[in-house]
């Protein structure tokens, strides 16, 4: 456990500042100030810089701010709806969407290293949202037969795309090629689901055109990337 260099208070491993005296944990104490009631002059001008926080602290801070905004919106919509209509009517939509957004935001912030759990949690929460919206409208047809299958294939394509990107030793314009192919496959899946839902028949038209269009472009990008035999950094490529 860390110890404050100024007042000797024990600090948690992720604390950058002492909660008692405000002294920065990794800043040496000015000679003659330790043990006195007078704080060093430098501690009065110090600010809690966001860049100096650890990654966990940054994620936690972002989550707290996002949670405050979403919970405030949910509570405000509930109170307004209850005050105007004397019952819960339209606010059930904003409450449900707000809670699902909070769940997804929490998963994105805290589950970045567990990508499979992240996608699984987001899929379950988004599917639950579609089912609840259907229940609010007293109709379970759209969400179960159309919405959830489309979301399922979106997350499946994202999962395999992320695996392909992670296994790539050289990350450059090949990432663009993989993304274009994934978008073409996703369009094919979406049109198939829509045609089965509307006509009970597998009828594919525009998605085939999209897939055929992106394949040559992706092949050219992959050829350029691997033919160069060097890393084509995306930041340098786009001058970022």
Q: Tens of pLDDT along 99-136?
A: 999 999 999 888 888 888 899 999 999 999 999 988 88
pLDDT of residue 35: 47
- DSSP, residue by residue, 73-116: HHHHHHHHHHHHHSS-STHHHHHHHHHHHHHHHHHHHH-TT-HH
**Which of 13-22, 182-191, 199-208 tops mean pLDDT?**
182-191
Identify the band that residue 235 occupies on the pLDDT scale cut at 50, 70 and 90. Answer: low
Quote the tokens at residue 136.
């609010």
Answer whether 120's CB lies under 8 Å from 96's CB.
Answer: no
The pLDDT assigned to 13 comes to 65
Domain residues of the chain, as ranges?
1-49, 168-240
What is the C-alpha separation between 53 and 23, in angstroms, rounded?
A: 15
Place of tokens 């819960």: 88
| Contact between 74 and 95 (Cβ < 8 Å) | yes
Q: What is the mean pLDDT of the chain?
A: 81
* Averaged pLDDT for residues 56-78: 89
């Amino acid at each position: 456990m860390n110890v404050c260099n100024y007042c000797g208070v024990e600090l948690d491993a992720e604390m950058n500042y002492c909660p008692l005296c405000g002294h920065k944990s990794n800043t040496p104490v000015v000679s003659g100030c330790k043990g006195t009631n007078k704080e060093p002059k430098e501690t009065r001008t110090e600010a809690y810089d966001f860049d100096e926080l650890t990654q966990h602290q940054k994620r936690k801070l972002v989550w707290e701010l996002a949670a405050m905004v979403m919970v405030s919106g949910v509570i405000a919509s509930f109170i307004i709806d209850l005050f105007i209509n004397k019952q819960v009517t339209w606010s059930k939509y904003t409450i449900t969407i707000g809670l699902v957004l909070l769940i997804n935001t929490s998963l994105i912030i805290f589950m970045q290293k567990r990508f499979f759990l992240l996608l699984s949690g987001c899929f379950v929460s988004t599917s639950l949202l579609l089912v609840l919206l259907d229940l609010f409208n007293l109709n379970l047809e759209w969400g179960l037969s159309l919405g959830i299958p489309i979301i399922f294939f979106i997350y499946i394509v994202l999962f395999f795309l992320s695996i392909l990107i992670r296994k790539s030793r050289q990350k450059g314009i090949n990432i663009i090629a993989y993304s274009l192919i994934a978008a073409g496959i996703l369009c094919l899946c979406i049109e198939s689901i829509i045609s089965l839902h509307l006509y009970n028949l597998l009828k594919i038209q525009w998605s085939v055109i999209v897939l055929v269009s992106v394949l040559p472009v992706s092949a050219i990008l992959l050829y350029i990337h691997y033919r160069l035999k060097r890393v084509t950094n995306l930041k340098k490529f786009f001058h970022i």
